[in-house]
Structures are given as C-alpha cells and as structure tokens.
C-alpha cells in the first residue's frame, strides 16, 4: 500500500486539467443520487455552467440535467433523488457548445441506452460526427462528447459488450479525455477511459467511485488509484479492473492512501489556487493550442476583410493584446491597434465603422469596461470577434464569432493561466491570417508548430528549474519598496504583465517600460540597489537591450535578468539571473518568460503575508465601470 504524504508525488501524477468535473458511483445497495450530488458539489470549482446525472434502474437509463449551478439545478430537478445503485454525474465548463440543456452532460446514444460524461476535448469529433450522421445517427447537441455515446452504440451492435465497445471507441478518438459510461443492459458496471485528462478511482468496501479529482470521494474513502494515459477501468460494487486501451490487457495497479484534507485536495495539494494555476499552464497552453481550425479560419476571414482592426481588453487581457500586436505585424503583415477598453470610444470611436473589426479579449467575458466598448463599436457597425474563457458569457452573446480558450475556471483573482492561453490563441489566429494572406513560408509555419509542441515542456522546465531560484530572489528583495520591469520588442508586453502581477499582489508601486524609453524619464528614479528586472530573450531586440542594462548598471541598480541558458552578455552584467530555455521562437517568449514573473509576484505576496488568491480591492471580474 503506497502512502501519499507530500503533495509533490500525487500532484505530479495527477496533472490536473481543469475543464469539467466528472463523477461515478457504483454501490452494492442504496441510492447513488445523493452521493453523486455531493461529489459534484465537491468538484464545482472545476466548472459550474451546467450539471447532470444519469443512473440505471430496471434496464433503463434515468437522466436529469440542466443549465445552471448545482444548487440551482438541484432545487429545480432534484437530481440527488435519482434512484439506482450505479450512476455517473457531470459539472460543466463549456468548451464546445455554449451552456444549454442540450449541451449539458450526460449525453446518450440514439435510443438512450448508453450514457456518457466527459472532461477534455475530442479533437476529431467533427469528422466522427459526419461519419455517424451518414450512418443514420441523430446527434442532439453541439458538443464533442455526444459523438462518443453514438460510437459506443455503433460498437454494441456487434454484441461485444460495453467494455469492448468502449475500448474500440476510444481507439478512434484523438485529443484529451476522461470518459465514464453506463449502459442500460449492463447496470452493474461503470466503464471509464483516460487520455491526458485526470481520472482517479476511489476504492471503497462494497462501493467504488471515480472522479476527475480526489475531493469528490474523499469523505467516503481515502484509498485511491490513478489511471494512467491510454488506460481504462471497469468498476463494479466490489471490483476495479484496470486495462490497457490498446490491447485490452489487464494491468495490476497499486492503490494509495490520500492524507490531504478536502480543502488541500481542492487546491491539488498547492497552498493557493494561484500557484496551482501557474503549474497548470503546460496543460492549459496545450488546450488553447487545440482550438478547432474552423473557428480560427472564421476569425481570420473576418480579419482579412477588415479595413481597421482593434484588439480590445483590460488588465492582463490587454497585455495579451499588446503581445499579439507583434504577431499580427510580423507574421500577417497586418496593423492592429491594442486598446484599453475604457479609453476605446473616446480615443477611436470616430474611426469605427462597418469595415472595422474589434477582436475583444476577456477571461471572464463580463468586464463592464470591455462590454461597453464592444457595444459602442457594435452601434457603429463594427464586427465583433470574442476570445474568452467563459462560454455563455455576455461577450460570447455580443460577438459575431467567438472562441473559448479552454483554460477551465481560474479561481485566483490574478490572471495567470488565462494570460498564456489567451496569447496562445491570439498567435494562432495571427498565423491563420498569415497563411490566408500568404505572408509566411512553410519553414516559418513548421518552426511555429515545433515551438507550439515544445511550449508545455519549456514552461514545466522553467517551473522546476527556476522555482527555488525565484524564491531566493524574492527573499533577497522583499524589503524593496518599488520595482521596475524593462523589455524590448514583444518583451514589453511580458514586462507589463510581470509588473501588473507584482503590483496587484504585493501592493508595491511597480513600474514597467519599454527599455529604450527608460532613459527618457524613469532612469531618474534609479539609485543604488534599485531593483530593475530585465526580460531579455535573444531575439531581434537583444543587441539593443544590452545597452539598457549597462545604463542601469552604471547607476548601481540591482539588476535581475531573465536570460536564455547560454547568455554571455546580459547575465555577466546582472546581480541575479533567471535562466530561461534557449531558442524559444521570439513571438512565443511571452508564454514562457512570464512564468518566473508570476512566481515572483506570488512569492512576494506570500512573503509579505498577503493572500495571493484574493488581493485587496480587486475582483476576479470587474463588472462595474
């Protein structure tokens, strides 16, 4: 029996991918309804725009689902009162298909004899859907998930049983998924399968559980086992069987004991949501890069017809827009104007007309300043494109075309994973537009594809190699009363975002500047030991930033530099060095170089005794002007 004491081992093995929460319970006797309801409440931090439960009773699937938070749906539908000893449940964070009753999970096949819940993204669902519809299946929702219920239905026609039907269906899927199935004809079991999305089994006595995360069943059992990628499990009330999807071969798996409290488990073993969300970025960036090409094409078409393009947002989202400006110019050879939403109408209202496209970025999709600017642009005939993390938000309703960035709920008020995901989608849009305008060659495109594939490792590599170094730099500078962040080229956006994180979490007056501009004013502030943080990747601007580092050194500033591993020009001039991966394509550096600055701000807040999740005077979504 393996004992889980330190968060690290379980945390690294769980790799939480935040999108939805799935749950399953199979009992010897009793009703699963109340247990499923309770487990979903414990998973609500993973998604809360729609909820549903399905059980098997007397050879029939009973299903209740609707749009809304668990409490609201429970009071309407009494999902907790569903009877049966076998059931599955789901709390949703919409990625494909806005929140609606049809798009809520569980989804079923044509005759309602198979039900499925899902967390993740089925990348090839469009083509599977076309094949199934051609074979006569009727799909009722706009989700990627429903396709899988019909795939299993198709396999069951071969009289191979639910386990084999699920295995064969899983072999046809690409993407990330944790799926759980029940079937009217096999009421005693739940079959689940996993690839990348988290799925953990709770081992009870006379009962077994599955969930996206441990908190769901922790009040009932502390004995758990993890499914690895490309594995599936069959749960009955007194057995858990783990198998390989590829071969169907049974695998022996050692259960472990969870010692975490429910609260710690909800944070995945991290002390704060913000730190958990910083560590989610290798996966949330990959998620964002999985945006369906059809939506990128729709955005690029609208942009290619525009006579004027604005990138509109507030706060961190605005910094993603500033970074994207470099991408649109250098890749698609298109001029876009990043604008702070509260200034948009005053500054540019007179220029907005029917040939204007406004690409609006908002994590929450509810920021009042952003929505007002969007409405002003719409009134002037502009086309509105939306990029948000909340499907069904007001921005999605105001947009002509919108994309969900698939980051999952962000609980920390300070935006972290949503910044890197936003910028990842924006650079994908710029690349799609560049391909449409033929302004990038195949070699460039390949370099970006390779870069996209390496981003998760560059981020996780930076987290593991620099976290202690950043903590040391925080401790050494925690008495400083102000900081300045400098960058050139696209790193101006990284410096701006690094500054915002420190400012909003440590309440220290921090400054950010294009490094070249620093000698036109800021430099007068610099004195012995004043901390200046340079974002200095070896891109086109590198040769010029060396001079700026020397200017600060000459005035005895305390220089902290983010430089590539093989740096031999800026590093020797610096008092502290944060080593970053080499050869990150310049237009992708904001996604990697922001990570140690997020850790720096988090560390400074904790060192000063502030709560990094809920900084004073701030709200996660600013819905007032």
Q: Residues interacting with ligand AGP, by CB under 6 A?
A: 314-317, 362-364, 367, 370, 413-415, 504, 621-622
Helices (H), 507-585: 542-554
Order of strands across the sheet with 231-236?
Answer: 107-108, 114-122, 175-183, 190-195, 231-236, 239-244, 250-251
Which residues on adjacent β-strands are paired with residue 308?
356
Q: How far is the CB of 321 from ligand AGP (least distance, A)?
A: 10
Phi, psi (rounded to 5 degrees) for 597:
-75, -30
User: The tokens of 197 are what?
Assistant: 């999305």
Q: 459: number of CA atoms within 13 Å, CB side? A: 29
Q: How far is the CB of 323 from ligand AGP (least distance, A)?
A: 14
User: The tokens of 454 are what?
Assistant: 């390496």
Closer residue to ligand AGP in complex, CB, 177/419? 419
In angstroms, what is the C-alpha Rg of the chain?
Answer: 25
User: Under a CB-based contact definition with an 8 Å cutoff, are residues 205 and 220 in contact?
Assistant: no
Closer residue to ligand AGP in complex, CB, 85/394? 394
Q: How far is the CB of 143 from ligand AGP (least distance, A)?
A: 24
DSSP 517: G
Catalytic residue among 244, 480, 608, 620: 620
Closer residue to ligand AGP in complex, CB, 139/345? 345
Q: Is 620 a catalytic residue?
A: yes
Q: How far is the CB of 110 from ligand AGP (least distance, A)?
A: 40
Closer residue to ligand AGP in complex, CB, 89/315? 315
Strand pairing report for 175-183 and 114-122 = antiparallel
Catalytic residue among 15, 20, 192, 436: 20
Closer residue to ligand AGP in complex, CB, 314/562? 314
Q: How far is the CB of 594 from ligand AGP (least distance, A)?
A: 12
d(CA 56, CA 514) in angstroms, rounded, equals 62
Which has the closest alpha carbon to 167: 157, 176, 179?
A: 179
Q: Is 20 a catalytic residue?
A: yes
**Left if phi > 0, otherwise alpha if psi is -120 to 50, otherwise beta: which for 84?**
left
Q: How far is the CB of 30 from ligand AGP (least distance, A)?
A: 43
d(CA 238, CA 224) in angstroms, rounded, equals 14
User: The tokens of 340 are what?
Assistant: 């702070």
Which residues on adjacent β-strands are paired with residue 313?
340
Give the CB-nearest residue to ligand AGP: 315
DSSP 77-109: H-GGG---SEEEEEEE--SSS-S-TTTSSPEE-
Q: How far is the CB of 369 from ligand AGP (least distance, A)?
A: 8
Residues recognised as catalytic: 20, 620
């Amino acid at each position: 029996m393996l004992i889980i004491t330190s968060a690290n081992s379980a945390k690294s093995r769980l790799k939480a991918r935040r999108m939805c929460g799935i749950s399953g319970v199979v009992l010897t006797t009793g009703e699963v309804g109340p247990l499923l309801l309770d487990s979903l409440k414990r998973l609500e931090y993973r998604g809360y725009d729609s909820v549903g439960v399905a059980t098997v009773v007397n050879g029939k699937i009973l299903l209740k689902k609707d749009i809304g938070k668990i409490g609201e749906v429970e009071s309407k539908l009494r999902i907790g009162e569903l009877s049966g000893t076998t059931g599955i449940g789901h709390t949703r964070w919409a990625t494909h298909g806005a929140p609606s009753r049809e798009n809520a999970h569980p989804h079923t096949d044509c005759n309602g004899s198979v039900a499925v819940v899902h967390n993740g993204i089925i990348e090839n669902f469009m083509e599977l859907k076309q094949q199934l519809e051609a074979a006569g299946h009727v799909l009722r929702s706009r989700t990627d998930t429903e396709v899988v219920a019909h795939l299993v239905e198709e396999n069951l026609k071969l009289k191979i049983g639910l386990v084999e039907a699920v295995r064969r269906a899983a072999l046809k899927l690409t993407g990330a998924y944790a799926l759980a199935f029940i079937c009217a004809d096999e009421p005693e079991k739940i079959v689940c399968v996993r690839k990348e999305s988290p799925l953990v089994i709770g081992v009870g006595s006379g009962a077994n559980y599955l969930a996206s995360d441990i908190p769901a069943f922790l009040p009932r059992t502390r004995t758990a086992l993890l499914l690895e990628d490309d594995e599936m499990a069959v749960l009955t009330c007194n057995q858990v069987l783990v198998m390989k999807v590829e071969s169907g071969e049974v695998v022996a798996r050692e259960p472990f004991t969870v010692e975490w409290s429910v609260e710690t488990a909800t944070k995945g073993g991290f002390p704060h949501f913000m730190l958990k969300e910083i560590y989610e970025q290798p996966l949330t960036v990959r998620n964002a890069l999985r945006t369906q090409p059809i939506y990128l094409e729709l955005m690029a078409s609208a942009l290619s017809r525009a006579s004027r393009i604005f990138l509109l947002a507030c706060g961190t989202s605005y910094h993603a827009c500033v970074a994207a400006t470099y991408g649109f110019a250098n890749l698609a050879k298109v001029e876009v104007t990043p604008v702070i939403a509260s200034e948009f109408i005053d500054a540019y209202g007179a220029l907005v007309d029917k040939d204007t496209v406004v690409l609006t970025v908002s994590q929450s999709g509810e920021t009042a300043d952003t929505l007002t600017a969007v409405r002003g642009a719409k009134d002037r005939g502009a086309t509105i494109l939306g990029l948000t993390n909340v499907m069904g938000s007001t921005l999605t309703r105001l947009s002509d075309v919108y994309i969900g960035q698939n980051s999952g709920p962000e609980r920390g008020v300070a935006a972290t994973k949503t910044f890197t995901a936003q910028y990842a989608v924006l650079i994908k849009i710029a690349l799609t537009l560049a391909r449409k305008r033929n302004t990038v060659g195949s070699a460039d495109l390949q370099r970006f594809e390779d870069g996209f594939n390496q981003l998760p490792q560059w981020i996780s590599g930076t987290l593991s190699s620099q976290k202690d170094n950043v903590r040391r730099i925080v401790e050494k500078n925690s008495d400083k009363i102000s900081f300045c962040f400098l960058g050139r080229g696209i790193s101006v956006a990284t410096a701006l975002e690094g500054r915002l994180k420190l400012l909003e979490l440590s309440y220290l007056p921090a400054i950010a500047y294009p490094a070249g501009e620093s000698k036109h004013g800021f430099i007068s502030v610099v004195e012995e030991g004043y901390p200046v943080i340079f974002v200095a990747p070896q891109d086109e601007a590198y040769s010029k930033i060396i001079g700026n580092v020397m200017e600060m050194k000459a005035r005895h500033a305390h220089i902290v530099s983010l430089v590539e591993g093989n740096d031999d020009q800026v590093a020797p001039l610096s008092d502290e060095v944060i080593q970053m991966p080499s050869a990150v394509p310049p237009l992708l550096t904001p996604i990697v170089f922001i990570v140690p600055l997020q850790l720096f701000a988090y560390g400074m807040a904790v060192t000063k005794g502030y709560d990094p999740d809920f900084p004073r005077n701030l709200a996660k979504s600013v819905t007032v002007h």
